[in-house]
């Protein structure tokens, strides 16, 4: 028998369905959440619905929306990034769900609180102060206000209410943004969490409380995703965990609280996370947590999204043979694709059919004219 062709292999490895609770995705390709500012007043319109539906129609198995702000005054920093509260915004999201489902896709929203990365005077609630665990920015300098217990309870409740709204609107699950130095991550990371109360003694407590509240607000078969990262914006060498043991101490309580899928954000998926093993961050989280995982990081491209040299304006195409090797070995369960899907809405279809040579490399102009 002859060896399978590359076309056959890509379809065989990435074309497998996966069931997580009540969600079955037809293949392993996920659209990564990518911040956009195409929702004036925080309301996603028909253009947003068409943007996601176009990718769903081209065989993206699961779409994770751009980050969308939970209902807390300090959650957001732009009037043009969508929010997940208010009748107008939720009606807009209902239209997005309808469009994606109509195209045969699956979709989950990413719920977001930016925490102390927010600047005073930015929308959607301009008068709100930046807030974080300790009143420190990502460099360790004073900024904003430290959250009190009442504020923490309000934020936990906002995430839970957002998740409940997602299920009411017909979304297929929900993701919590706990990566990249935003609020949940600010509690997880020692660089920004210097608290001397229970949320400092256990830096995972805040995230676990949010997960538990979200889990209680939705049905047991409604999947809960959590995005995590080691790196932070501008802090690319930051670590939540220096070794697998430390990683397990972060992941274990979150899995117990109710996370179904961990979304491990790295800038280059092919790099090993810890010495002595080729496993990337997603692979290690799967090993220590026993849950499904999503890998992400310059899939299909030759340069990371961000780094010490800043945002790359152009990339070349990279083959996915290493990705297929890792996926075939079940190092991870799902593969999130970002810029490649901005540059080419049909990237998933082309990847599954051995036509990557026909895809378009990312250029920064694509992000300015998203379609």
Q: What is the per-residue pLDDT for 287?
A: 97
Q: Is the pLDDT of residue 314 over 90?
A: no
Q: Which helix (H) or strand (E) holds 132?
A: strand 131-132
Label residue 300 by pLDDT band (50, 70, 90). confident
% of the chain with per-residue pLDDT over 70: 91
Which residue is catalytic, options 182, 199, 269, 362? 182
What is the pLDDT, as a whole number, of residue 365? Answer: 53
* Residue 51 among the catalytic residues: no
Per-residue pLDDT for 79 more than 60? yes
Which residue has 């660089």 as its token pair? 191
The pLDDT of residue 306: 60
Where residue 141 falls (left for φ over 0; alpha for ψ -120 to 50; beta otherwise) is beta
Inform me whether the pLDDT recorded for 298 exceeds 50: yes
Note the pLDDT of residue 147: 98
Of the pLDDT bands very low, low, confident and very high (cuts 50, 70, 90), residue 359 is confident
pLDDT at 7: 66
At what angle are helices 149-169 and 87-102 packed, to 10 degrees?
40
Distances (CA, A) of 48 to 54, 57, 158, 288, 347: 10, 14, 23, 37, 19
How far apart (Å, rounded) are the C-alpha atoms in residues 52 and 184? 26
The mean per-residue pLDDT over the stretch 64-90 comes to 98
Report pTM: 0.93
Strands (E) located in 257-321 = 261-265, 292-296
Average pLDDT rounded to a whole number, residues 332-354 = 92
Both structure tokens of 317:
């195409």
Cβ atoms 345, 371 nearer than 8 A: yes
**Pick from 179, 77, 69: which is nearest to 118 by CA?**
77
- What is the model's pLDDT at position 370? 52
Measured distance CA(291)–CA(141) in Å, rounded: 36
Mean of the per-residue pLDDT values for the chain?
A: 92
Residue-wise pLDDT for 127-143, tens only, equals 999 999 999 999 999 99
């Amino acid at each position: 028998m002859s060896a399978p062709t590359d076309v056959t292999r890509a379809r065989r490895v990435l074309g497998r369905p996966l069931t997580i609770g009540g969600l079955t995705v037809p293949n392993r390709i996920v659209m990564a959440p990518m911040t956009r500012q195409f929702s004036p007043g925080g309301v996603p319109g028909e253009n947003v619905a068409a943007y996601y539906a176009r990718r769903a129609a081209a065989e993206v198995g699961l779409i994770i929306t751009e980050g969308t702000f939970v209902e807390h005054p300090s959650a957001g920093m732009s009037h043009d990034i969508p929010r997940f509260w208010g009748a107008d915004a939720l009606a807009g999201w209902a239209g997005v769900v309808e469009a994606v489902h109509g195209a045969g896709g699956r979709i989950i929203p990413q719920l977001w609180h930016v925490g102390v990365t927010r600047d005073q005077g930015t929308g959607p609630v301009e008068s709100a102060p930046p807030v974080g665990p300790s009143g420190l920015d990502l460099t360790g300098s004073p900024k904003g206000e430290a959250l009190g217990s009442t504020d923490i309870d309000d934020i936990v409740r906002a995430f839970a209410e957002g998740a409940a709204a997602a299920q009411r609107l017909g979304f297929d699950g929900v993701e919590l943004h706990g990566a990249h130095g935003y609020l949940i991550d600010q509690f997880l990371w020692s660089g920004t969490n210097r608290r001397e109360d229970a949320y400092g003694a256990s830096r995972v407590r805040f995230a676990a409380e949010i997960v538990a509240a979200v889990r209680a607000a939705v049905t047991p078969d409604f999947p809960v995703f959590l995005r995590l990262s080691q790196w932070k914006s501008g802090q690319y060498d930051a670590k939540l965990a220096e070794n697998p043991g430390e990683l397990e101490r972060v992941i274990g309580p979150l899995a117990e609280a109710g996370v179904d899928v961990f979304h491990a954000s790295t800038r280059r998926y092919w790099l090993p996370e810890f010495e002595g093993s080729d496993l990337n961050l997603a692979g290690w989280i799967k090993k220590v947590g026993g849950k499904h995982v999503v890998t992400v990081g310059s899939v299909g491209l030759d340069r990371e999204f961000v780094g010490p040299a800043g945002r790359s304006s152009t990339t070349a195409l990279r083959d996915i043979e290493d990705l297929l090797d890792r996926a075939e070995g079940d190092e991870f369960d799902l593969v999130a694709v970002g810029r490649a899907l901005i540059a080419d809405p049909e990237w998933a279809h082309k990847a599954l059919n051995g036509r990557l040579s026909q895809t378009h490399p990312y250029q920064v102009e694509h992000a300015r004219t998203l379609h």
